[in-house]
Amino acid sequence: MLTFDQEEKRFTYRAVAVFISHDHVLLHQAPGDGFWALPGGRVEHGESAENAVQREMVEELDVELIDLKPTWVVDNFFEFDGKQCHELGIYFLVMASPDSYIYQQSEFPGLELDKKLNFKWFPLKSNDDFPLYPSFLKTALSELPAPLQYIIHRDK
């Protein structure tokens, strides 16, 4: 995993999957987290972000991706577990096979190593106030860019 800690600072290189279907986006939540996020995971040394997101979706959802389109490169700055975090995320708009089980259910379990994850489809233009991080996604998901975009984002 490409994660480096230096005192109270952490850097992570993350590959992220953006599943969109019928004006809904797939998010996940880990046990004990009070927020939702896009699925994905840390890139391994020598692994491309594209290969990492494919590997992570097999590990977490047992789903093979059939289409990947780089959408955002995000320098994300936030605080988590008492650390000042800097996450470099490569976000891919992805698709699984149209007959995949993930498109047939509104909510279902997944797995991250030994942690159970909860996956759920949320409307893109939701009026519900739920915590989603990084927070730029609340608006950006309903306005996906045509070309790849580079974003610097800081959550306070």
What's the CATH code, domain 3-154?
3.90.79.10
CA dihedral 7, 43, 57, 65 (to 10 degrees): 150
Instruction: Look at residue 127 in the predicted model and tell me its pLDDT.
Output: 65
Q: Where are the domains of the chain?
A: 3-154
What pLDDT, on a 0 to 100 scale, did the predictor assign at position 128?
A: 72
Q: Which 3 state secondary structure label does DSSP give 114? A: coil
State the pTM of this model. Answer: 0.92
Quick one: what percent of the chain has pLDDT higher than 90? 76
Would you say 83 and 8 are in contact if contact means Cβ atoms under 8 Å apart?
Answer: yes
| pLDDT tens string 40-58 | 999 999 999 999 999 999 9
